[in-house]
Structure 1
Amino acid sequence: MRILVLGGTAFIGRAIVEDALRDGAEVTVFGRGRTGRELFPDVPRLIGDRDTGDYAALHGGEWDAVVDVSGYVPRHVGQAMAALDDRVGRYLFLSTQAVYVQTGVGPDADEDTPRRAPVRHTEVLDNDTYGPCKVACEDDVLARYGDRATIVRPGNVVGPHDVQDTMTYWLRRAARGGRAALPGRPEQPVQVLDARDLARLVTRLLRDDRPGAFNAVGPAEPTTLAGLIGACAQAAGAEVELVQISPDAAPGPFPLILPEPQWPTRQRSAHRARTAGLPATPLTTTAADTLTWDHARGKPPLPWDLSPEAEANLLEGA
């Protein structure tokens, strides 16, 4: 199978390329060529730029499937589809759980949950526009390719090479052990998915030539903030005592913590994706592998962190 990956050198794209190569696919990567230059030396690279609309490198090639990891606004997917035309068999678009309405949804909601209204008038992505822009992208892919379109809607994706460091704070904090400040509720539901499981689902969907939409969420068994932090502690060989503090006392947003009205958005059903082949790496395995990767890269500063001294001050008032 010949697979073109639009954006395949960062986190999710990297995992998809690795999985597709293990599966025996012939992979081509399209991107700006600025990151991951040392990766995949035997994989053909096409150079272009979604931001400037430079998709000229896609003209002339033919692929059995394309995986669009880099489309965030309708212009991105529109220009990619125009360049590819009918020279691809299946178009798999990586969307997001943010396409769904955010309130009024119960636990175990599936892919038929109402989506938010599409947005096309902006390319500024924030909490109000990110999901709706992805809705517009989904609509355009479906309108162009019909039954040759596949939509995958990941939730929080974690694992080694995570450029957003979704789990990294809790991994580092768990490794220190002791009393840990939690500006949220331990019973809050959490859904995180190993990027390698997401990649395996993508490859299987392409191999099976399967259309439709799929919620790519994990782990296999429901978990909570306390459960996730416990898995991080187990991976680090440490013991953590969670101390609940007021969210108002926190100096900034802590990763993965949500207000209660949004809890159902972390209780989506993955039944359709599991049936289609989404695997389930144990959360402790994902945590251990991510911790090993974080140590190997030298534990760089995180975009937001809480020093032991600042945390001690928070715990004094708990």
Structure 2
Amino acid sequence: MRLLVLGGTSFVGRAIVEDALRTGAEVTLFGRGRTNPDLFPHLTRLIGDRATGDYSALRAGSWDAVADVSGYVPRHVRQAMDALGDRVGRYLFISSHAVYESAGLAPGSDEDTPRRAPVRDTEELSEATYGPLKVACEDDVLARYGTRATLVRPGKVAGPHDSMDTFTYWVRRAARGGRVALPADPAQPVQVVDSRDLARLVVRLLTDGRPGAFQAVGPAEPTTLGELIETCARAAGTEIEIVPVPPEGAPRRFPLVRPDRPTQQRSAARARAAGMPATPLAVTAADVLAWDRARGEPPLPFGYTPEEELAALAARMTAPAPPTP
């Protein structure tokens, strides 16, 4: 398979390229050449810029498939498709679980859940616009390529080389052991999919020529936020005690804490049937821990600092006991 990857050197794109190469695919990368420029030195790199609309490098050549990992607004996708035309066999777009209407996300919801209304009048990515912009991108890919279009909607992705570091926070915190402050309900459902499972799904869908939409969610067994943290501790060989603390005073952004989002119990049945594997959460945690330590555990931009966590735990211990019913 001759595969073109639009953005293939950061996290999800990197995992897709690695899996495609493992299967013997001939891979070409398109991007600015700024992210991990020394990665995949033997591959052909076509230099362009989606922000400025520079797709001139795509106006020659042909591929069996394209994996669009870096399309976030309709213009990105439209201009890429205009440049490629019919010189690609299948167009696979990496979308998001944010395309769905939250009102329709009951436990076990599938790919036919109603989507949000598309947005095309802005390119500003925010909590309110991210999902609707992805909906517009999906619509454009389907309109252009029809049965040659494939949509993959990942949930929260975890794994080595994670540029967001949300799962990494809990892996690192659990590895320290001791009392863990959690400004949320430990029973909150949570879903994370291993980046390598997502990549395997993408390559399988392209190899098999499968159209349609697929939810890339995991792990294989339903889990909660508390169970996820405990799994991370077991992977690190540490003992922890999870201490729920009031969310008031917690940092603005706290990894995987989304009590208002019923998006953490979606069905992976269609993706599993198409060949998406299910890496055990403990394996994902151990691999992320090893990667994080190898890179020197740089500071993370969210969650508690050690000092903030100690203060939250101390406040929890001195808080008055709730009244007896």
TM-score range, shorter chain: over 0.9
Identity, in percent, stands at 70
Following the alignment from structure 1 to structure 2, what is the Cα–Cα distance between the partners of residues 239 and 16? 35
Following the alignment from structure 2 to structure 1, what is the Cα–Cα distance between the partners of residues 303 and 253? 10
Task: Quote the residue 1:37 is aligned against.
Answer: 37
Q: How far does residue 119 in structure 1 lie from its aligned partner after superposition?
A: 0.1
Q: How far does residue 293 in structure 1 lie from its aligned partner after superposition?
A: 0.4
- Cα deviations by residue, 1:219-262 (Å, 9 ceiling, x for unpaired): 01100001110111011111110111111131333100012x42
Q: 1:101 to 1:180 in 2, by over 3 A?
A: same
Are residues 1:95 and 2:95 paired? yes
Find the partner of 1:316 among 314, 317, 320.
314
TM-score (norm 2): 0.96
Following the alignment from structure 1 to structure 2, what is the Cα–Cα distance between the partners of residues 230 and 119? 40
Letter in 2 for 1:270: A
Q: How far does residue 315 in structure 1 lie from its aligned partner after superposition?
A: 0.8
How many residues align structurally? 316
Task: Quote the residue 2:206 is aligned against.
Answer: 206
The ranges of structure 1 where at least 4 consecutive aligned residues each deviate by more than 6 angstroms after the TM superposition are: none
Letter in 1 for 2:296: G
Following the alignment from structure 2 to structure 1, what is the Cα–Cα distance between the partners of residues 213 and 40? 29
Task: Quote the residue 1:175 is aligned against.
Answer: 175
- Cα deviations by residue, 1:165-191 (Å, 9 ceiling, x for unpaired): 021111111111111110000110010
Following the alignment from structure 1 to structure 2, what is the Cα–Cα distance between the partners of residues 131 and 184? 24
Letter in 1 for 2:280: P
Following the alignment from structure 2 to structure 1, what is the Cα–Cα distance between the partners of residues 8 and 135? 22
Following the alignment from structure 1 to structure 2, what is the Cα–Cα distance between the partners of residues 237 and 218? 23
Q: How far does residue 32 in structure 1 lie from its aligned partner after superposition?
A: 0.2
Give secondary structure in 1 for the equivalent of 2:71.
coil
Gaps (5+ residues) in structure 2? 317-325
Q: How far does residue 316 in structure 1 lie from its aligned partner after superposition?
A: 1.4
Is the 2:104–2:113 contact (alpha carbons within 8 Å) kept by the matching residues of 1? no
Following the alignment from structure 1 to structure 2, what is the Cα–Cα distance between the partners of residues 249 and 196? 36
Following the alignment from structure 2 to structure 1, what is the Cα–Cα distance between the partners of residues 62 and 184? 50
Task: Quote the residue 1:287 is aligned against.
Answer: 285
Task: Quote the residue 2:64 is aligned against.
Answer: 64
Following the alignment from structure 1 to structure 2, what is the Cα–Cα distance between the partners of residues 209 and 290? 31
Give secondary structure in 2 for the equivalent of 1:9.
coil
Task: Quote the residue 2:219 is aligned against.
Answer: 219
Q: How far does residue 55 in structure 1 lie from its aligned partner after superposition?
A: 0.3
Task: Quote the residue 2:187 is aligned against.
Answer: 187
Give secondary structure in 1 for the equivalent of 2:103.
coil
Following the alignment from structure 1 to structure 2, what is the Cα–Cα distance between the partners of residues 164 and 224? 20
Following the alignment from structure 2 to structure 1, what is the Cα–Cα distance between the partners of residues 263 and 5? 28
Are residues 1:276 and 2:274 paired? yes
Following the alignment from structure 2 to structure 1, what is the Cα–Cα distance between the partners of residues 192 and 229? 12
Q: How far does residue 130 in structure 1 lie from its aligned partner after superposition?
A: 0.2
TM-score (norm 1): 0.98
**Greater shift in the superposed pair: 240-249 or 121-130:** 240-249
Are residues 1:129 and 2:129 paired? yes
Q: How far does residue 104 in structure 1 lie from its aligned partner after superposition?
A: 4.3
Q: How far does residue 314 in structure 1 lie from its aligned partner after superposition?
A: 0.7
Task: Quote the residue 2:120 is aligned against.
Answer: 120
- Cα deviations by residue, 1:76-132 (Å, 9 ceiling, x for unpaired): 000000000000000000000000011343100000000000000000000100000
Letter in 2 for 1:151: L
Letter in 2 for 1:192: V
Task: Quote the residue 1:256 is aligned against.
Answer: 256
Is the 2:98–2:131 contact (alpha carbons within 8 Å) kept by the matching residues of 1? yes
Give secondary structure in 2 for the equivalent of 1:228.
helix
Task: Quote the residue 2:111 is aligned against.
Answer: 111
Is the 2:255–2:303 contact (alpha carbons within 8 Å) kept by the matching residues of 1? no
Task: Quote the residue 1:25 is aligned against.
Answer: 25
Gaps (5+ residues) in structure 1? none
Following the alignment from structure 1 to structure 2, what is the Cα–Cα distance between the partners of residues 302 and 309? 14
